[in-house]
A = this chain, B = another copy of it.
Amino acid sequence: MEQSVFPKYTKAWLPYAAPAAAPSTPEEAARAELDNGLAHYGFARPVSLKTESLGEGYRIDASAEEIVIYGQGAGMLYGAFYLLRKIALGQEIVSETQQPEYALRMLNHWDNMDGTVERGYAGRSLFFEGSRFHYDPERLRFYGRLLSSVGINTITLNNVNVHPPAQHLIDDLLPEVVKIADLLRPYGIRLLLTVDFAAPTYNGLATADPLDETVIQWWKDRTAAIYQVIPDLAGFVVKADSEFRPGPITYGRNQAEGANVLARALKPFGGTLVWRCFVYNCRQDWRDQKTDRPCAAYNTFMPLDGQFDDNVLLQIKNGPVDFQVREPVSPLLLTLEKSNRALELQLAQEYTGQQIDLYYMQEMWQEIFDVLPRGNISAICSVTNLGRDENWAGHDLAMANLYAYGRLCWNPDCLKDDMAREWTQLTFGRNCAAVDEIARMLHSSRKTYQKYNAPLGIGFMVEPHVHYGPNPEGYEYSLWGTYMRADRNAIGIDRTAAGTGFTAQYPADLQKLYEDKSTCPEEMLLFFHRVPYDYVMEDGRTMVQRIYDDHFEGAEEAQALLESWKKLENQLPADVFARVLAKLEKQVVNARNWRDITNTYFHRYSGAEDAKGRVIYP
């Protein structure tokens, strides 16, 4: 592995010098960060570190003369990073105690060992190339600092779709995994291993049936062997019975029977079994009007509530379909009572602009937490948006999402803060003249993207497989259960009691809200209802006119983002300016495509003319 082949990388929001030596403990790391950080920010007051057992939390004792951070292990490091952030932001340093809301604050890499990243838009894998481990240790340490600085404490390395040879990360390739675990441990980061449910069959067993004694023993033995070399492993992640992945259903068992076998193997070591709930029929026939994909996870998992062991964590995507621009919160997150739940988000902008379009996620998460009672989940996970690109996330401004995500995992109260502004100040300097404008751009970005994309919660009007770019009927006759059934009169699936009955999966108040067109939030109107084009919206516009208006406005707003950015040329580093400029120029072109194709599509079906007489191509 030659050092020279690794690309350079930006410092993201950690502008001061990285510690010269690799730390061997979080406490050592904390001291090194403070030494370099305080000097960089010209902070004169002495800061000392004192050991106190506060779990992952920390306590800051601030006086006019000195500051003491109390903590232990990662907690001490989190305290150091927190203090440095407050200094960088020019915030007042007060005595306070912080504890994370969630013990598991996770990032999932969907990296493949061939170096590609599934749904990755930031270059190739940080870990793999050519079917083997291939990484820049210095960069991985920097990566550890980045994650630790915002409180993320758990990562998976490999894709939930376990492609060869990644199934061997738990056996033959384990020594290489150990090296990564060792490298990241001083930053308080633990590994989760993404495993293949059929792993026993790759190791000589005739079956992976979770009730088979040899299978149960195999998982026990293998897990023990792994903990021998990675004693602080966080556990396993499994995508089972989902999109062609093997799982318990393959062997005639249910999800709980499958999950519990792995959970019991992990139990003696304090490990967690993270079990994804993304289970649905991905070979649906569009002619089948009864099966409704959003119903699938609830139908599969609700009957099993109470049957999962206490170290099973059910990882549930925020919406009931698949990371669309606008979805309601997954009912499973609201209704499971006896199972541990993790909220799964996606920083990787699969359906949300692929790190070409600006799409800041704080407002989206706010909508989720507006609905999700605070105690409902015990962990948060996200698919990462990082790769080997120089700027980590492909789009420089997409790093704001990683920053805000870390803060969210630590404590969702952060949603009250202007994290876009924080990130901008940390990245470009507190007094950078571009701060206000960048923060404003970030905060407006989701609404803009949503306007020129699939309208009013309809979803999946995208190029198949790629998941970017407008293709209104791209998924209409597919096997993926993603239909909208537009005709000359109406569009959408009726998911109320009169239709597929999906609304019944929600608690009574939400069910009532979504059930009725007049109370359903308009952004989700076409998610829940089949609606005629001439349906009159709350403000008096017809539904189709609202779609036209949104798309014209969205494309204009994309143009405005570009114009705003152009004014920042002299206020930002030239390379950052140029990279983001190139992205925004693409966004403008793509937004126009979205506008024109979507408007034409609805015009062809509805025959409705635009009330303002703007150009809709025939």
Which positions in A face B, CB cutoff 8 Å? 286-287, 289, 470-473, 477, 485-489, 596-597, 600, 603-607, 617-618
Contact with A287, one of B289, B473, B617 (Cβ below 8 angstroms): B617
Contact with A618, one of B289, B607, B618 (Cβ below 8 angstroms): B289
Contacting pair A489 B287 (CB below 8 A): no
A606 to B286, CA, bound (A): 20
| Residues of the B chain whose Cβ atoms lie less than 8 Å from the Cβ of A596 | 287
Contacting pair B618 A488 (CB below 8 A): no
A584 to B485, CA, bound (A): 30
Main secondary structure of the interface of A (DSSP, over half): loop
Query: With contacts A470-B477, A472-B473, A477-B597 known, is A605 near B287, CB below 8 A?
Result: no
Contact with A488, one of B470, B485, B607, B617 (Cβ below 8 angstroms): B607
| Residues of the B chain whose Cβ atoms lie less than 8 Å from the Cβ of A477 | 470-472, 597, 600
Contacting pair B488 A605 (CB below 8 A): yes
Nearest-neighbour CB distance to chain B for A157, whole angstroms, equals 31
Contacting pair A604 B488 (CB below 8 A): yes
Sample (30) of A-B pairs whose CB atoms are under 8 Å apart: A286-B597, A286-B617, A287-B596, A287-B617, A289-B617, A289-B618, A470-B477, A471-B473, A471-B477, A472-B473, A472-B477, A473-B473, A477-B597, A477-B600, A485-B604, A485-B618, A486-B604, A487-B603, A487-B604, A487-B605, A487-B607, A487-B618, A488-B488, A488-B604, A488-B605, A488-B606, A488-B607, A489-B607, A604-B605, A605-B605
A487-B604, A488-B606 known; 7 new pairs, CB 8 Å cut-off, are A287-B596, A472-B473, A472-B477, A485-B618, A487-B605, A488-B488, A488-B605
CB-nearest residue of chain B to A469? B477
| Residues of the B chain whose Cβ atoms lie less than 8 Å from the Cβ of A603 | 487
CB-nearest residue of chain B to A617? B287
A472 to B473, CA, bound (A): 9
A607 to B600, CA, bound (A): 19
**Most B Cβ at <10 Å: residue of A597, A603, A607, A617:** A617
Nearest-neighbour CB distance to chain B for A434, whole angstroms, equals 35
